Amino acid sequence: MKLLFKLRKAKFTYRKQQKFYEKIILFFPQYEKEPVFIRDANELIKPFGITTSLKYKIGKIIKSRQRRWYKGGFYHAIKEAKNALATFNKAKILQDTIQNIYTQAYSNVIKNADNSPTVITTFDTKVNTHAIIDLTYATAESLAFIEKNLSSIQAWIESQEFKNQYVDSKHPYPPLLNPNNLNYHTISAESAWDLNIPLPSNYEFIVVVTGFSGHSALIRTLRKCNINIALDHYDHSLLYHVNYIALLKNGYNAINLACCSSDSNNLLYKFLYLLPKKTPILYLVRDPIEKLRSTSGFESTQKAYWTIDLQKYDKSLLYGRVCYGINYTLPFKQKIIKIINRGLYDSHKVLTILQQKGFNDIESIDMKEILPKTIFATLQKLSQRFGFSIPYAKEEYEKIYYMSYAGYMFPLLCEFLLHTKVEIYIVLKEYFDNTESFMFPRFTEYCNITNLFNFTMPPFLYPIAIITHKQYLKDLQDNRESLQALNPTLQQLLNDMYQQIQIEESKKTSEKEILQLLQTDIPSRQILKKAIDTEIAYIKDVRPDIVQSWKYYQKFEKICEDSMLL
């Protein structure tokens, strides 16, 4: 009976975490269970520490097996739950083994206040994992790797080099293998993250920025300068993953550090402590009220992906596809709190930690400096500062586009019948061209078929492409007449998508409206001012000219000053 009670509790835990996952995909559509782009369901929410937890696994087993109770579902559920428990226990045994190796090797070196052996602690007790490594969420591959290399791990932990580099400095995330003797090409990014392996050190600078500051446009521009840098925003374990892969390339490399994740601070701190080389930092900032306007839009409650049958197309199928950050129907104070909690004003945390680690060479630029009319002059300055080249003419760099949440209408899966069902995707062209994108890693199996159709592309802010899996290509090429019959529907779909994007964009609150609300809403104003004051303290000190140029922030400051005089 006790077992049945625990299994029932695990099932409810699974349901609760599934609801949390549904909320996650509103903000991070790349984690949506889309069978083409991400096939392994266990990878969907792994970065959030859910699918790898024991309760989640057992709950999932019970929920799936109870539907087939008449086929021995309960018996199979118990068997699978035992296997899940065995894997969990294996991770715990490995973690205890490594911890014991560490404690035995350095019990005379590191002591608590009561003179008892302890583990390495971090600068912040909130981040103290109380273990040299946390294998709770480690992959099966990582566990097998650790088990196979346990003797090497022990020799490394007991070495004087390990003591000098990591123990004496109380490094919170010491690597389980010597990174100086490691061939990075032989260990996966996932296992390297689990083992606290520092990123490859062949990078020249680090880009630091929070969301809604033109980060995507800056990264795309740097990539046009032949700089190997990971694309876009990720939670920090995935950020490690994509940077790890990018840094394995030869050439001029840089680190993408976008502080706009909803994951825990532990992952952010770990990422920062796995940066092995002190380099200059490029710090991108923006008027904090403009940032607030960009993120305070509409929040969809619909799924991020679904299929549209082109032969039964209806415009209503597009409604609710756009996912914005904050529900515009919420009271203003709740929106402010949600926005702040999502890390919109958190780049100061990253800068503080990096400065503590000795990263003191910081070049700050404002978002206005990367707009089309100013981008080339900014690149000329940055190229001299960081030592990279500018291979294209000025006009090429003025073509930058700025991603909006409306961009998450893509990819759109469409299907229609020829001899068999054919699937095509309408995607942002850049993600198709960028085969390294973690969001859509299987595009190497696809081909661009835009030229097989005959339509006029609406003036989207970002280039669009129509792609399909290579298995459909010959049928499509052999049936061009049938494709031509789809042209009017496809044209209508694209036109409707463009119109819907304009509608969704119009739902955003303007800076003027935000300032009007802040003028009367004293609690919201106080909450926001505290967050902004902390966020811009650094830039206010080193680049007061940038702060003075922020039109809406200056108006916000005037509102705050006037309220104090009343």
Convert the pLDDT of each residue in 150-175 to its tens digit.
999 999 988 989 888 888 877 888 89
Judge if the upstream peptide bond of residue 280 is cis by omega within 30 degrees of 0: no
Tokens at residue 337, please? 């709190």
Ranges 186-195, 355-364, 397-406, 477-486, most confident = 355-364
Structure tokens at 279: 């380099």
Distance CA 419, CA 497 (A): 28
Using one digit for the tens of pLDDT, what is the confidence trace for 329-342?
A: 678 888 888 888 77
**Residues paired with 363 in a beta bridge:** 282
Q: Is 125 exposed, middle or buried (0-12, 13-18, 19+ CB in 10 A)?
A: exposed
Q: Is 474 exposed, middle or buried (0-12, 13-18, 19+ CB in 10 A)?
A: exposed
Kindly report, residue by residue over 180-192, the tens digit of the pLDDT.
Answer: 999 999 998 888 9
**pLDDT tens-digit readout, 358-388:** 999 999 999 999 999 999 999 999 999 999 9
Cα–Cα separations (whole angstroms), residue 284 to 307, 325, 381, 539: 38, 21, 14, 10
Among candidate residues 543, 541, 515, 539, the one with its CA nearest the CA of residue 529: 515
Beta pairing partners, 415: 309, 423
Cα 514 to Cα 547: distance, rounded to the nearest angstrom: 19
Other Cβ atoms less than 10 A from the Cβ of 230: the count is 28
| Angle of the 288-295 helix axis to the 522-542 helix axis, nearest 10 | 130
Unique residue bearing structure tokens 């780049």: 347
Q: What is the pLDDT of residue 377?
A: 96
Separation CA 311–CA 351 (nearest Å): 53
**CA 163 to CA 3: how far, in whole Å?**
45
pLDDT of residue 39: 25
Residue 160 exposed, middle or buried by CB count within 10 Å (0-12, 13-18, 19+): exposed
Give residue 565's identity as a one-letter amino acid code. L
In angstroms, the CA 58 to CA 8 distance is 10
Surface-to-core class of residue 427, CB atoms within 10 Å of its CB (0-12 exposed, 13-18 middle, 19+ buried)? buried
Please check whether residue 236 is in contact with residue 268, taking contact to mean a CB–CB distance below 8 angstroms.
yes
pLDDT the model gives residue 297: 60
Q: Lowest mean pLDDT: which of 46-60, 153-167, 216-230, 256-270?
A: 46-60
pLDDT at 547: 97
- Average pLDDT estimate for 126-138: 57
- Which pLDDT score, from 0 to 100, does residue 481 have? 85
State the residue for tokens 């995707």. 425
Quick one: pLDDT band at residue 408, thresholds 50, 70, 90?
A: low
Q: Per residue in 48-99, pLDDT tens?
A: 333 345 555 555 555 555 554 444 555 556 666 666 666 777 777 888 888 7
Buried b (16+ CB within 10 A) or exposed e, 479-492: eeeebeebeebbbe
Cα separation values, 439 from 192, 230, 323, Å: 20, 12, 16
**407, 243 in Cβ contact below 8 A?**
no
| Residue 220 contacts residue 210 (beta carbons within 8 Å) | no
Neighbouring C-beta atoms of residue 171, cutoff 10 Å: 15
Residue 354 has pLDDT above 60, yes or no: yes
- In terms of pTM, does the model score above 0.85? no
Number of H helices, E strands in the chain: 22, 9
Give the chain's mean pLDDT.
77
Burial bucket for residue 254 (CB in 10 Å: 0-12, 13-18, 19+):
buried
